Amino acid sequence: MISERPNQSSSESPANRVTQTSADEQGSKTEPPEDSACNQATVIVRGETVRDSNANPPPKGSTAEDKKGKEESPAKEVSEAKLKMRSRLPALDDDADIGVPKEQVVIRDGKADLAFTGTLLASVAPPSADQEQWEEYRIYETNSGKHVFSKVTRTVFAEEQDRYNAEVFEPSPSSVPAQLLRSARDLIHTRPLDWTDAAVTFFGYDPLAKALYRKLGDQFEEHIS
């Protein structure tokens, strides 16, 4: 005689159905209100709330890669000596040497430095400001009648080098640069080229250059009748 057992998997006991129904009702009651600002997906699984973690990405700057990028770009180191120089602008260290004949050394980048005996005629620098770099203009006259023009571009950063540019004007026709400038000038003007023309060629007419020219008198002004 074959006995048949009822299929327990096809039906649930009343106790199990009551327990499941209570859990479902409890989960539906504890469902949080919809928050439009968060914009998160909410799923109810047998009374447990699961939120979609990908709905709101982390704010920019909070990831490890963003923090690493900020750490790799540190601020430039500032030279204390250069800061003191900038704080004294427009005064320069050699202002006391103006008009005093002495041994001079003018630095040049990419060329030999200029050493001569002569006089610093005038120098100029911009007013003090919170700028990272500034320029200094100087004009010298040697004992032999030549003129030296110097332009220095300084920076406050310790790892950056100052830039030095300088030229010599020699009124003698034996000087090749003087011959070239004289020839170009003679094509337009009858007045022979002098050191003031060479200074304008070197410095130009920016506000700092005009301040330098004013210290040397009115010979840089254009007189008209």
Across the range 167-187, mean pLDDT stands at 63
State the Cα–Cα distance between residues 191 and 114, nearest whole angstrom.
Answer: 29
Is residue 219 within 8 A of residue 195, CB to CB? The reply is no
Tell whether the torsion through CA atoms of 190, 191, 192 and 194 is positive or negative: negative
pTM over 0.85: no
What integer pLDDT is reported at residue 180 of this predicted model? Answer: 55
Q: Which of 33-47, 58-72, 133-147 has the highest mean pLDDT?
A: 133-147
Task: Answer yes or no: are the C-beta atoms of 208 and 135 closer than 8 Å.
Answer: yes
Mean pLDDT of 72-91: 88
Residue of 168, 194, 199 lying closest to 182 (CA atoms) = 194
Q: By three-state DSSP, how is residue 102 classified?
A: strand
Of 58-62, 83-87, 103-107, 210-214, least confident by mean pLDDT is 58-62
> What angle, 0 to 180 degrees and rounded to 10, lies between the N-to-C axes of helices 195-203 and 176-186?
90
